[in-house]
Structure 1
C-alpha cells in the first residue's frame, strides 16, 4: 500500500478544520456534534478521528488557528519597513483580520475566549499565542517610542496589554453590534491617539 504523503495529510487535516470552522461558526462549539463535522467535511467518522480524536481536539485546533491569525498579521507589519501611524495601527489590524474572510474580524475568537474561561485545557493551548501577540505589540510600542511618536515613559509591556484588551473588545463589538460599532471605535481610536500628543504639549 503506498504511503500517504505529508502534503495529503496536511490537506486532509485542513479539510476537516475548515468543515469544523463552518459548523462552529454556524451553531457554536457546544451545539455542534461530530456527525455535523463528518457531514460538512464529506468524510467518514474514521477518516476524521484519524486526525482528531474528538470535538475537544477540534476546538483546541480551531482556537490555536484563530489566535495565530493575529500573530501572523502582526509579524507582517513588523517585517514592513515602517509601521503605520499609531492611530492607524489598530484599524489596519481589524481590516487585515476581516480580509481573512467574513464581514467582521476573527468571528471565532469570542467563542474561543469564552471557552478559555470554561476549559483550562483550551486556555493552556492558546496561552502561548496570546503571549506572542502581547510580545509583538510591545515591540511595536518600542519602535514607536524610538521614532518619537509614543511617550518614552510608557511601559511597552503594560501598553501592549491595554492594546490586547482593546483588540478583544473591538472584535466582540464588531461581531455583535455590526459595522457601525467598528466605525465608531475606529473614530475614537484615531481621535485619542492623534489628540493626546497635542494636549500633552499644552499640559
Structure 2
C-alpha cells in the first residue's frame, strides 16, 4: 500500500477526529470505545490506530482541536469597540460558530483524570485568557474609567478576562445541559449584566 503524503495524512487524521467527536458528543468519553470510533469513521482498525495509538490520545487531540477552534473563532472579527460587554458578546457568538465548543464540557470533565489533557486545557485556556485580556486592554486604559481600573489597567483587564471566561464557560455548561434554553436569550442576558461594568 502506498504511503500517504502529509496533507492526506492530516485529512484522514482530522476525519477520524471528527468521527470521534461525534461519538463523544453522542455517547460521552467513557462510553465511547475505539470500535465505536472506527465504525463512525468508516475506517479499518489499522487505519485508525496508525493515526492514534489509543482513545486517550484521540481525546487529547480532539480536546486540543476544540479549544483551538474556539480560540480561532474568538480572534476573528473582534469589533474595534472592545468594552467587556462587546468582548463577551463576541466570545458567546464565537462559541456558537464553533462546531466543537459544546464538547468542551465533556473535555473539561476529563481534565482531573488525565494530566496531559489538563496541560492542554490549561495552555489553551491561558491563551484564550491572554487574548481576551489584550482585547480589553485599551478599554481599561481609558482614563474616564473608574479609579480602580485607571490605577492598574493591566490588572483590571486580567480580572475582567477572568470574569468573561467564567461567563463563557458557564454559558457553555448551561446550553449543553439545558437543551430547552434559548442560547440567544441567555447570551443577551449575560451581556446585559456585563454592560454595567
Give the TM-score of the pair, scaled to structure 2: 0.85
Q: Give secondary structure in 1 for the equivalent of 2:165.
A: helix
Partner SS state of residue 97, structure 1? helix
Please, which runs of 5 or more residues in structure 2 have no aligned partner? none
Kept in 2, the 8 Å contact 1:67–1:129? The answer is: yes
Q: Which runs of 5+ in 1 are unaligned?
A: 197-203
CA 1:37 to 1:98, structure 2 compared with 1: closer, same or farther past 3 Å? same
Equivalence map 1:31-50=2 (5 Å): 31-50=31-50
1:172 alignment counterpart: 173
Counterparts in 2 of 1:41-190, with a 5 A limit?
41-77=41-77, 82-83=80-81, 85-101=83-99, 106-147=101-142, 151-153=149-151, 155=155, 156-178=157-179, 180=181, 182-190=183-191
- Counterpart contact for 1:16–1:37, Cα < 8 Å: yes
Bigger shift: residues 132-141 or 186-195: 186-195
Q: Aligned partners of 2:107 and 2:150: how far apart in 1?
A: 35
Greater Cα offset, 42-51 or 117-126:
117-126
Q: SS where residue 29 of structure 2 aligns? A: coil
Alpha-carbon distance between aligned partners in 2 of 1:160 and 1:84, rounded to the nearest angstrom: 12
CA-based RMSD of the aligned residues comes to 2.3
State the shift of 1:115 in Å: 0.4
Q: Distance in 1 between matches of 2:98 and 2:103?
A: 12
Q: Deviations over 1:36-67 (max 9, x none)?
A: 11111111111011010010000000110111
TM-score of the superposition, structure 1-length normalised? 0.83
Distance 2:143 2:188 in 1: 23
**Partner Cα separation in structure 1 for residue 124 and residue 105 of structure 2:** 15
* Residue 181 of structure 1, CA deviation: 5.9
